[in-house]
Amino acid sequence: MDKVPTIKDVALLAKVHAATASRALNPNTRDMVSARTANRVIEAARTLGYAPNSAARSLRTRTSSVAGVIIPDLRNPMFPPIVRGIEDGLREAGYMALLGNTDGDSERERELLAAMRGRQTDGFILATSRREDPLPAEYGGRPVPTVLINRRSDADLPSVTPDNVMGVHATVALLAGLGHERIAHLAGPQELSTGWERYRAFLDAMAAHNLTVAPSRVAFSAGFTEEAGYRAAVALLDADTTSTAIVAGNDLIALGAYLALHQRGLRCPEDVSVVGFNDMPFLDRQRPALTSVRIPQYEIGTEAARLLLERIDNPTAPAKRVVLPVDVIQRDSTARPR
Amino acid sequence: MDKVPTIKDVALLAKVHAATASRALNPNTRDMVSARTANRVIEAARTLGYAPNSAARSLRTRTSSVAGVIIPDLRNPMFPPIVRGIEDGLREAGYMALLGNTDGDSERERELLAAMRGRQTDGFILATSRREDPLPAEYGGRPVPTVLINRRSDADLPSVTPDNVMGVHATVALLAGLGHERIAHLAGPQELSTGWERYRAFLDAMAAHNLTVAPSRVAFSAGFTEEAGYRAAVALLDADTTSTAIVAGNDLIALGAYLALHQRGLRCPEDVSVVGFNDMPFLDRQRPALTSVRIPQYEIGTEAARLLLERIDNPTAPAKRVVLPVDVIQRDSTARPR
DNA sequence: TTGAAAGCGCTAACAA
DNA sequence: TTGTTAGCGCTTTCAA
């Protein structure tokens, strides 16, 4: 046999019509076929090493068992565990993931969505949405099953996010408990839900502790990167030299703050405590080991896969918004103020 | 228009036959069509927002412009930059990547290969091959274009690897130059080409420096993980307490060695120098910052994509073995012996 | 329960 | 240069 076997070959060997073979091979239609012929067909398929041609199946059924996963950049340590979780979650349902990176470029995102849709992708998991995105969630008049992760948009779409509000409240509570009163915030980009939610939560948490937030104690980072975080931290330290603690929008921003503090001759945690968010890998090896909010990255992935499969199954069900619990991991970057 | 447009719709609008529209839309056949009609077709496609149905195209052409990428685990910090490089390299040719993780399980790998082939994958990039793998590189009697990365197998397949030999030679030269003579090796798994090549290179480099390798100064790690590296390092320190330097099979093994040294009350680099391999992210933040061999991870990805595309284009061309240059990055984990 | 027939959308061989 | 025709492999009516 030097040719890939088709369903016709299987049918021939099992002495049935191709249509019957199809019914026997497909679990959903198997009970339209007598058990005896079903077994004969399955046996024939096995001996031939038959594997269905998914292009033909896709063409016919307009489904592909492939999901598109679009993220900003796989090299951001946030994403590998999430993507791994997605892959594992999809696998159980026989789905596979097509991966694409946008580098935050929405033009690129549009291209990727188009290219993936052309490949009959059954649905999308997007980690790239902006807060006010016009949702790209339909195609040819039909909604395309879509789940947002990490970030949310205004659109009424299912999402899986870490509990940003609780996370920030917990960090502020930790710092306040240590005796800090002049707490600064290095906020992430406000057009992203993560940056925005954490900033709002910071204001709220400070108020809850009866602490005031001087405008000079908030700086906005242009991105969730160490580089942008460094620049924001420099701006913060230029505007205000009295803060004893910094709540950073994420870990990379916090690491940028480490740099800026070091340059000013300020020590962490002796002079300034710093807290990150996400608890990305190897934070425990930083100097000092960074206190951060651990988010269940792998579970974000598996949960997103689950939601997407649900959505594919029933595209009009109400959009669930799953919020996963977080923990503060206390390390060496937080201490009492002097 | 509440229906996805097909090539017939485009043809209708451009007042040509579907076959002509197909020829006009496909760059390879465009010159079979007059420039005027080609433009008319392209214009029509744009106004309709036409995107070709790739299932239909795949069914017809038996190609998919999709490559399968199979790695052990995306959460290993080695892989994100490589996968990103693959993605970028494939994209230029209009290809996309289906991603799969095996956790080193070859049964799982077999399943993944089968599932991806069923999806008409045009080729594979594998980071999972064992040294003596029976190559899974044909299907239905035809060879499936395959490129190995990072690791190689005995099979005659194209591969992209870092220069393990030069890398190890450079680390041994560095240590010898610092005055070390009793240099130990924490070797990676010998069934993987990376572990094996680095071990052979270590023996060779030691000989080149007229240094002897006592058997008690080599321990084999069961895996390229921090955990396995720790266990191997414990075994090493049990067998030999006179080494002044350790060449580790990769960075994670080196980090495992950090742990073991610390437990024994040995300081790095004062008591024992340590060198890693791969220069994974954030090594500069370890305590002490780890000296390592930097490998061009992103380029491994882009180069693998290039090789795969070449191979798809011409499956019978001789298998190139690309070896990419490496650098030793000297940090704080290496010093003169006392 | 099974078979016959049609067709998903595209492209390649052949004809004009 | 363009149109006609056929068929890739599968699933799904419809009929028997």
Mean pLDDT of B148-160: 84
Torsion, Cα of B292, B297, B300, B305 (10° steps) = 170
CA B300/CA B54 separation, integer angstroms: 29
**Residues on chain A touching B81 (C-beta within 8 angstroms):** 74-75
pLDDT of residue B234 exceeding 70: yes
Summarize the confidence of residues B45-53 as an average pLDDT. 91
pLDDT confidence of residue A38 = 93
**pLDDT value for B323:** 96
pLDDT band at A235 (very low <50, low <70, confident <90, very high): very high
Q: Is residue B37 within 8 Å of B17, Cβ to Cβ?
A: no
pLDDT at A144: 86
Q: How many CB atoms lie within 10 A of CB A42?
A: 16
Predicted confidence (pLDDT) at residue A134 exceeds the cutoff of 60? no
**How many angstroms separate the CA atoms of A318 and A226, rounded?**
38
Residue of B nearest to A76 (CA): B80
Statement: residue B1 has pLDDT above 50: no
- Residue A333, pLDDT > 70, answer yes
Lowest mean pLDDT among A39-53, A172-186, B4-18, B108-122: B108-122
Instruction: Give me the half-sphere count of Cα atoms (radius 13 Å) on the Cβ side of residue B70.
Output: 28
Chain A, chain B: beta-carbon pairs less than 8 Å apart: 134
- Asked if B96 lies within 8 A of A83 by C-beta distance, the reply is no
CA of A57 vs chain B CAs: smallest distance (Å): 8
Identity (one letter) of the amino acid at B140?
Answer: G
* CB-strand contact A198/D, under 7 Å: no
pLDDT tens digits, B244-284 = 999 999 999 999 999 999 999 999 999 999 999 999 888 88
Q: Which residues of B touch A1 (CB under 8 A)?
A: 140-141
Fold of B7-52: 434 Repressor (Amino-terminal Domain) (1.10.260)
Average pLDDT over residues B155-169: 93
Contacts of A84 in chain B (CB under 8 A): 73-75, 101
Nucleotide nearest to B36 (CA to C1'): D1
Residue B132 scores a pLDDT above 90: no
**Mean pLDDT to the nearest integer, B233-241:** 95
Task: Provide the percentage of residues in chain B whose pLDDT is more than 70.
Answer: 96
How far is the alpha carbon of A1 from chain B, nearest alpha carbon, in Å? Answer: 7
**Residue A269: is the preceding peptide bond cis (ω within 30°)?**
yes
Question: CA B31 to CA B72: how far, in whole Å?
Answer: 44
Reported as type and span, the H/E element at residue A109 is helix A106-118
Exposed, middle or buried by CB within 10 Å (0-12, 13-18, 19+), for A230?
buried
- Distances B173 to A35, A310, B177, B328, B334 between C-alpha atoms, Å: 70, 58, 6, 10, 12
Given a cut of 80, is residue B151 above it in pLDDT? no
Non-local CB neighbours of B5 within 8 Å, separated by 6+ positions: B48, B49, B50
Q: How many CB atoms lie within 10 A of CB B15?
A: 11
**Chain B nearest CA to A183, separation (Å):** 26
pLDDT tens digits for range B281-302: 888 888 899 999 999 999 999 9
Using an 8 Å CB-CB cutoff, list chain B residues near A55. Answer: 55-56, 58-59, 64, 119-120
Which string of b and e fits A156-165 if b means at least 16 CB within 10 Å?
ebbbbbbbbb
- In degrees rounded to 5, what are phi and psi of residue A227? -60, -50
Nearest beta carbon to residue A59 from set B55, B64, B96: B55
Residue by residue, DSSP assigns B204-255 as: HHHHHTT----GGGEEE-SSSSHHHHHHHHHHHHHH-S--SEEEESSHHHHH
- Predicted confidence at residue B255, as pLDDT, reads 95
**pLDDT, average across residues A169-181:** 98
Amino acid identity of residue A31, one-letter, is D
Q: Which CATH superfamily is domain A164-295 in?
A: Response regulator (3.40.50.2300)
Other Cβ atoms less than 10 A from the Cβ of B285: the count is 17
Domain A61-160+297-324 has CATH 3.40.50.300: no
Write a three-state SS string for B130-155: CCCCCCCCEECCEECCEEEECCCCCC
- B322 beta partners: B160
Residue B329 has which token pair?
């990055």
Q: Is the CB of B16 under 7 A from strand D?
A: yes
Average pLDDT over residues A79-108: 94
Q: Work out the minimum CA distance from B263 to partner chain A, whole angstroms.
A: 16
CA A117 to C1' C13 (Å) is: 30
At B143, the pLDDT band (50, 70, 90 cuts) reads confident
Looking at residue A3, its amino acid is K
* Alpha-carbon span B165 to B276, nearest angstrom: 14
CA dihedral (B287, B291, B293, B295) in degrees, to 10, reads 40
Residue B139 pLDDT > 60, yes or no? no
Domain boundaries, given as residue ranges, for chain A? 7-52, 61-160+297-324, 164-295
Alpha helices (H) in B18-105, listed in sequence order: 18-25, 35-48, 54-61, 79-91
Q: How far is the CA of A131 from the C1' of D8 (A)?
A: 44
Handedness of CA B19, B23, B25, B28 (dihedral sign): positive
Q: Residue B129, SS3? A: coil
Q: Is the CB of B32 under 7 A from strand C?
A: no
Q: Is there a contact between B120 and A53 if contact means CB atoms under 8 Å apart?
A: yes
Overall pTM > 0.85: yes
Which residue from B255, B265, B197, B201 is spatially nearest to B231, judged by alpha carbons?
Answer: B255
pLDDT value at A135 more than 60: no
Does residue A12 lie within 7 Å of nucleic acid chain C, judged by its CB? no
Contact yes or no for A52 and B286 at CB 8 A: no
User: What integer pLDDT is reported at residue A139 of this predicted model?
Assistant: 54
Least confident of A90-99, A232-241, A310-319, B292-301: A310-319
Q: Which residue has the higher pLDDT, B57 or B1?
A: B57
The shortest CB-CB distance from B52 to any of A51, A77, A118 is to A118
**Alpha-carbon torsion A299, A300, A301, A305, what sign?**
positive
A7-52 and A164-295: identical CATH topology: no
Residue A1: its pLDDT value, please? 47
Closest C-alpha to B290, from B302, B300, B280: B280
A291-312: pLDDT as tens digits: 999 999 999 999 999 999 999 9
Digit-coded pLDDT (tens) for A240-295: 889 999 999 999 999 999 999 999 999 999 999 999 999 998 888 888 999 999 99
Residue of A nearest to B54 (CA): A119
- pLDDT tens, residue by residue, A12-71: 999 999 999 999 999 989 999 999 999 999 999 999 989 899 999 999 999 999 999 999
Q: How far is the CA of A87 from the C1' of C16 (A)?
A: 53
